[in-house]
Amino acid sequence: MTNKAKQDEELYQEMCRVVGKVVLEMRDLGQEPKHVVIAGLLRTSLANKNIKRSELTTQAMERVVKALAPTQ
């Protein structure tokens, strides 16, 4: 596996982890996990610069937002 392919796979796995975590948290709060709502929650979280996260997680969150709500 090339280095680029490995990085892409790591990013994809992190994107899945991020979305899964949001969906489960929304379920626990009794909210329906619609794609626009998930994108909004991630966008809000990204705007909070006080939260420390890895570059991979930040990149994954940004990619998920673009994938779920590309025109917003």
Domain that includes residue 65, residue range: 35-45+54-71
Is residue 69 pLDDT above 90, yes or no? no
Tokens 């991979």 belong to residue: 56
Q: For residue 25, is it within any domain?
A: no
* Distance from C-alpha of 37 to C-alpha of 53, rounded to nearest angstrom: 21
Q: For residue 67, is it within any domain?
A: yes
Please provide the average confidence, as pLDDT, over all residues in the chain. 92
> Which pTM value belongs to this model?
0.83
**What does the pLDDT look like over 14-27, one tens digit per residue?**
999 999 999 999 98
* Distance from C-alpha of 57 to C-alpha of 72, rounded to nearest angstrom: 21
Q: For residue 39, is it within any domain?
A: yes
| Number of domains observed in the structure of the chain | 1
How buried is residue 18: exposed, middle or buried, by Cβ count under 10 Å (0-12/13-18/19+)?
buried
Q: For residue 1, is it within any domain?
A: no
